[in-house]
Structure 1
Amino acid sequence: MRLIILGPPGAGKGTQAARIAERLGIPAISTGDIFRANIKQQTPLGQRVEKILASGGYVPDEVTNEIVEDRLTWDDAEGGFLLDGYPRTSGQVEALDGMLGKQGHPLDAVLELTVDEDAVVDRLLKRAAIEQRVDDTEEVIRERQAIYRKETAPLAQHYAEAGLLVQVDGMGDVDEVTERIIAALPQSA
């Protein structure tokens, strides 16, 4: 299966992506994880991305597209993948469509986790304390929520019009959310 998982920062995309990918035997590809690894290693990309994330912004499309296109060529993604954190903009949708068109493998579904924004802010503040993530202050979290609403949420409409969008309630127990997602996937899963 070739899947995307959408939802605002803190909706549980990373947790659910890992669980769903494991169940389906496909890699969960997180642009956020790729960026954080580069930051930790202080690569040139990591240093550039660190400044952007600390201000609450998103990494430019051209950088993100290049990273994703490379990652989709890895052997483990040949039979499918679950993209977490990508695409975020209409430009990234177009780039992904081009990548998948070259491969001859369209998306199977786009999962959208729906959540309560205030609950997400609380969730992220707790995660920031536990994981000591400097990019998760309340101001930055709320800025990311606003950017998501403006730039990424409209992608759900695009995928709905394409007949690919599957909305899933992302609130509640992690296991319950996983089961809701599995039940909502197209039958070919």
Structure 2
Amino acid sequence: MRIVLVGPPGAGKGTQAAYLAKNLKVPHISTGDLFRANISQGTTLGKLAKSYMDAGNLVPDEVTIAMAQDRMAQPDAANGFLLDGFPRNVSQAKALDEALATDGVKLDAVLDLEVPEDEVVTRIAGRRVCRNDSAHVFHVTYSPPKTEGVCDLCGGELYQRDDDSEETVRTRLEVYHTQTEPIIDHYRAQGLVVTISALGKVTEVTERAMAALERGRAA
């Protein structure tokens, strides 16, 4: 299956992408991984992307699209892929449509993870990270430390990252609503959108997603 995964920040896209890709036996292709791989390998596209990033500028759509096309052309993606973080806007979605049409293939579904805005704020703004080890992550509501402000694993101080503040989260949500959410209507016009609730346990959301994708494939 060829799937695009969309949803607001805090919807659990990265977690669900990993589980779904494993269940569907297709590669998980994320924008972040594309950039890191191309830059670390010193590819032409990676060098170009880095030049924009080093200058503090956004990487142009055409560079991101070229990276995605190159990745989707790899042998392990011959039978499908799961795109996470791409496309981010309607122009990228249209470019993806054209690229796939050129290759004689098309998307099977666009999986829309739906989460209420207040829940997104609760999920992200409640995160607390250990100053000693950023891999030690807690949540004031869902996985609180035994002692407030203290890491259970090493005793380090827990703090809220600037990116996790409520103000920053709401700004990110506004960017999502303005730039990324319109691709849902773009794909809905093609009959590709499958919307599911991303509330509940990770396994419950995965099962919900797999069932919805199977129904879509059978339709």
TM-score band, normalised by the shorter chain? 0.7 to 0.9
- For 1:77 and 1:127, the matched residues in 2 are separated by 34
Alignment deviations for residues 112-153 of structure 1 (CA, whole Å, 9 cap, x no partner)? 000022322332345572548978342443222111101111
Aligned to 2:192: 164
- For 1:34 and 1:159, the matched residues in 2 are separated by 23
Task: Give 1:52-67 correspondences, 5 Å limit.
Answer: 59-67=59-67
- Could you tell me the TM-score, scaled by structure 2's length? 0.73
Conservation of the 8 A alpha-carbon contact between 2:52 and 2:58: no
Distance 1:8 1:183, change over 3 A: same
- For 1:36 and 1:6, the matched residues in 2 are separated by 21
Conservation of the 8 A alpha-carbon contact between 1:18 and 1:28: yes
Q: Which region of structure 1 is more displaced relative to structure 2, 37-46 or 89-98? A: 37-46
Q: CA deviation at 1:37?
A: 5.7
Distance 1:87 1:21, change over 3 A: same
Aligned to 1:136: 163
- For 1:5 and 1:168, the matched residues in 2 are separated by 11
- Could you tell me the TM-score, scaled by structure 1's length? 0.83
What amino acid maps onto 1:4 in structure 2? V
What amino acid maps onto 2:74 in structure 1? W
Q: Sequence identity, in percent?
A: 48
Larger Rg: 2
Alignment deviations for residues 36-56 of structure 1 (CA, whole Å, 9 cap, x no partner)? 56688997535744776xxxx
Kindly indicate which of the two structures has a greater share of residues assigned to helix: 1
Structure 1 runs (4+) greater than 6 angstroms displaced: 38-43, 132-135
Q: Which has the higher contact order (CA 8 A, sep 6+)?
A: 1
Matched position secondary structure for 1:187 = helix
* Corresponding residue pairs, total: 185
Aligned to 2:11: 11
Alignment gaps of 5+ in structure 1: none
- For 1:85 and 1:119, the matched residues in 2 are separated by 20
Alignment gaps of 5+ in structure 2: 138-159
Aligned to 2:73: 73
- For 1:49 and 1:96, the matched residues in 2 are separated by 23
Matched position secondary structure for 1:76 = helix
Q: CA deviation at 1:187?
A: 3.1
Distance 1:155 1:18, change over 3 A: same
